[in-house]
Amino acid sequence: MTRVCVVGGGGYVGLGYAVALAELGHTVVGLDIDAARVDQLNQGDSPIFEAGLPEMLERNLASGRLRFTADYANAVPEAEIVFLCTGTPSLSDGEADLRQVRAAATSIGAHLASGRSTIIVNKSTMPVGAAELVAGIVAEHAPQGASYAVVSNPEFLREGRVLHDILHPDRVVLGGDDPRAVATVAALYEPLGAPILRTDHRSAELIKYAANAFLATKISFINDIARLCERLGADVTIVAGGIGADPRIGPRFLNAGIGFGGSCFPKDVGALTRMTEGAGLHPGLLRAVLEINRDAQRRFVTRADQLLGGLDGRIVALWGLAFKEGTDDLRESPSVAVAEMMQERGAQLRAHDPAALANAARRLPWVTLCDDLYETTRGADAVALCTPWPEYAAADLKRVAALMRGDLFLDGRNFLGPRPVEAAGLRYVGIGRGARPALDAGLASLVGG
Q: Which residues bind ligand UDX (CB under 6 A)?
A: 155-159, 212, 215, 219, 253-255, 257, 259-262, 264-265, 323-324
H-helix or E-strand spanning residue 427:
strand 427-429
Query: What is the distance between the alpha carbons of residues 69 and 419, in angstroms, rounded to a whole number?
Result: 53
Catalytic choice (5, 264, 370, 386): 264
Q: How far is the CB of 341 from ligand UDX (least distance, A)?
A: 17
Distances (CA, A) of 160 to 194, 227, 262, 396: 21, 30, 11, 26
Residue 408 CB contacts under 8 Å (≥ 6 apart), including other chains:
304, 307, 308, 381, 382, 383, 426, 427, 429
Closest to 127 (Cα-Cα) out of 288, 279, 262, 291: 279
Q: How far is the CB of 432 from ligand UDX (least distance, A)?
A: 12
Q: Is 229 tagged catalytic?
A: no
In the complex with ligand UDX, the residue whose CB is nearer, 100 or 255, is 255
Query: What is the distance between the alpha carbons of residues 409 and 396, in angstroms, rounded to a whole number?
Result: 13
Exposure letters 407-445 (e unless 16+ CB within 10 A, then b): bbbbbbbbbbebeebeebebebbbbbbbeeeeeeebeee
Q: How far is the CB of 357 from ligand UDX (least distance, A)?
A: 18
In the sheet where 172-175 sits, what is the strand order?
A: 66-69, 27-31, 3-7, 81-84, 117-122, 147-152, 172-175, 196-199
Query: What is the distance between the alpha carbons of residues 245 and 92, in angstroms, rounded to a whole number?
Result: 39
Q: How far is the CB of 43 from ligand UDX (least distance, A)?
A: 27
In the complex with ligand UDX, the residue whose CB is nearer, 69 or 335, is 335
Q: How far is the CB of 263 from ligand UDX (least distance, A)?
A: 6
Residues annotated as catalytic (active site), given as ranges: 264
